[in-house]
Structure 1
Amino acid sequence: MQRTMEKIAVWTGHLARLALWAAGIGLVLMTVLIAAQVVWRYVLNDSIVWTEPASVMIMGWFIFLGAAVGIREGYHLSFDVLLYLLPLRAKLVLFSISDIAVTAFGAGMIWYGWQLAARTAGNMLPSLGISGAFDFAPIVAGGVLIVLFSIERVFRRAAGLPTARFGDDPGPA
């Protein structure tokens, strides 16, 4: 099981790196669009109508992609005070419970994000000329990555592999 999980970890590591790069590029692109809007509005006394909704949509992508990568790397919000007092085996159980809860949250993102996208698919975003479903696509994509990365963490832990979280390394077998 360890070999299989190591191979899966390499694949999900590449996926996480790709998501992080996409999030970083989205952050830079959003910044450029907002800067262009400011220049057009206050220097040229005109406006680019599509930059604000495009920037908000891009922001959704980099937030949800970055959050998914943060979950994979163990940077999501947690309350760790009790964990400093517990033995390693108890910590691993609590980490797995946490990852299962995060998996359920990601599944909810997929389910409800998909419903929101389906309900707004017929609406057109006037300044962009695309379906309103695109506003909710980052929720679904982020949910898919959160589920994938959380399940990977549970299986890596079950295989005795570290999950890149402080205190979550089982050490030598």
Structure 2
Amino acid sequence: MLRRLTGALYSAAVALIAVALAVMVLVVAYQILGRYLPFLSRALWTEEIARMCLIWLVFLGAAVGVRTSEHFLIDLIPKRISDRAQRVIITLGLALVTVVAVVLFIGSLSFVETGTGRTSTTSGLSLVYSFTAPLVSAVLMVLFSIESWWEGMRRPEKGGLRLDEDALVEPITTRDTTNDGTAGGESR
């Protein structure tokens, strides 16, 4: 059940990252074109929208990095250690990530509260939309850490969740042929 929930949250976070990136690119492009093309008005709200998208990109990207084990990970310890030692290392690492996420969550509660009564000066949007990003990210980080820890206890050789490459991106395969007609440079 946890795997299904975090899978859905992961997919939603990746989709939101893609939308935020697309919106940011379009808004910044409009802002740049508005400076040089006389028929486009110079919009001041574009900077605030681009900043809001960047904030969400950073915080959601950090949470996604926790789930894919591509963030907060340093491979200094050889893979040849025992499963028990791997479990201890996984537990310590993910406990540190969880502590950081809990501190981020606690700190962002008052931050979100300050954003509820404030609006952006040029776009008129409530600042709570930007100020909520750390809170959402912290919750996702904790959930993804729990899932990674659980997978690390089940399969310590994988070092936690570490999604397989085909789960993240469809792998590209190529066939290399040499002049002698064999694949991959094999000799006959």
- What TM-score do the two structures reach when normalised by structure 1? 0.82
* 1:34 paired to 2:28: yes
2: distance between equivalents of 1:124 and 1:26? 20
1:171 aligns with none
In the aligned structure 1, how far is the partner of 2:145 from the partner of 2:24? 28
Distance in 2, Cα, partners of 1:121 & 1:11: 29
Match of 1:151 in 2: 146
Aligned residues with identical type, % of pairs: 27
Number of aligned residue pairs: give it: 160
Does the CA-based 8 Å contact 1:53-1:128 persist in structure 2?
A: yes
- 1:126 corresponds to which residue? 121
Native 8 Å contact 2:119 2:126 kept in 1? yes
Q: CA deviation at 1:160?
A: 4.5
Larger RCO, structure (CA 8 Å, separation 6 or more): 1
**Residue 165 of structure 1, CA deviation:** 2.7
**Residue in structure 2 matched with residue 63 of structure 1 by the alignment:** 58
Moved over 6 A (4+): none
Cα distance in 2 between the residues matched to 1:57 and 1:120: 13
Q: Aligned to 1:136, which of 118, 124, 131? A: 131
CA distance in 2, matches of 1:73, 1:137: 23
1:120/1:18 CA distance change after superposition, 3 Å: closer
Question: Could you tell me how far 1:69 is from its partner in structure 2?
Answer: 1.2
Stretches of structure 1 lacking an aligned partner (at least 5 in a row): 1-6, 167-173
- Pair 1:164 & 2:158 matched: no
| RMSD after superposition | 2.0
For 1:94 and 1:128, how far apart are their aligned partners in 2? Answer: 47
Contact persistence 2:63–2:137 (CA under 8 A): yes
Q: CA deviation at 1:85?
A: 5.5
TM-score normalised by structure 2 residue count: 0.76
- Counterpart residue identity of residue 55, structure 2: G
Gap regions ≥5 residues in structure 2: 164-188
1:99 aligns with 2:67: no
Q: Give me the whole-angstrom Cα distance separating, in 2, the residues matched to 1:25 and 1:41.
A: 25
Structure with greater helix share of residues = 1
CA contact (8 A) 2:115 2:126 kept: yes
Q: Which residue of 2 aligns with 1:89?
A: 84
Where 1:125 maps in the other structure, the secondary structure is coil
Larger radius of gyration between Structure 1 and Structure 2: 2
> Structure 1 stretch 8-17 or stretch 26-35: which is displaced more?
8-17
